[in-house]
């Protein structure tokens, strides 16, 4: 009985090894919504600095949530990153959260 267990383990390890060796990663090509212009590091850091100052925190106790902070944060994002709103699908969920989806092409 012990030999059968070891044989089953050996066959499983062999199958796993073969699958690992034969695995090929699909090529994922992400399309940038921007052209190849240079990045204004100062402007990026200023927007990031402003963005992280919003205390948009969700709590289990809904009475602690401040909806106006989320609304101001949503407005900030739309104004600060207008190109992202053009190329991404932005859906407001439960009035305070975002579901943001980008587009990627997978080539096999």
Pairing of strands 89-93, 97-101: antiparallel
- Collapsing DSSP to helix, strand or coil, 105 comes out as strand
Query: According to the model, what pLDDT value does residue 40 have?
Result: 84
pLDDT of 84 strictly over 60 = yes
Dist CA 75 CA 51 (whole Å) = 11
Query: According to the model, what pLDDT value does residue 35 have?
Result: 66
Query: According to the model, what pLDDT value does residue 103 have?
Result: 66
User: Is residue 49 very low, low, confident or very high in pLDDT (cuts 50, 70, 90)?
Assistant: very high
Give tens-digit pLDDT for 86-105: 778 888 888 788 888 876 55
Query: According to the model, what pLDDT value does residue 50 have?
Result: 92
Longest dimension (CA), the chain: 69
Give the mean pLDDT of 56-61.
82
């Amino acid at each position: 009985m012990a030999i059968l267990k070891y044989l089953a383990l050996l066959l499983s390890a062999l199958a796993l090894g073969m699958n690992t060796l034969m695995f090929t990663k699909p090529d994922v090509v992400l399309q940038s919504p921007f052209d190849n212009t240079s990045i204004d590091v100062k402007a990026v850091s200023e927007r990031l600095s402003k963005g992280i100052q919003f205390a948009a925190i969700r709590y289990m106790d809904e009475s602690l949530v401040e909806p106006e902070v989320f609304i101001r944060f949503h407005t900030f994002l739309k104004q600060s990153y207008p190109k992202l709103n053009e190329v991404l699908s932005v859906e407001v969920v439960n009035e305070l959260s975002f579901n943001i989806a980008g587009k990627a092409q997978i080539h096999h």
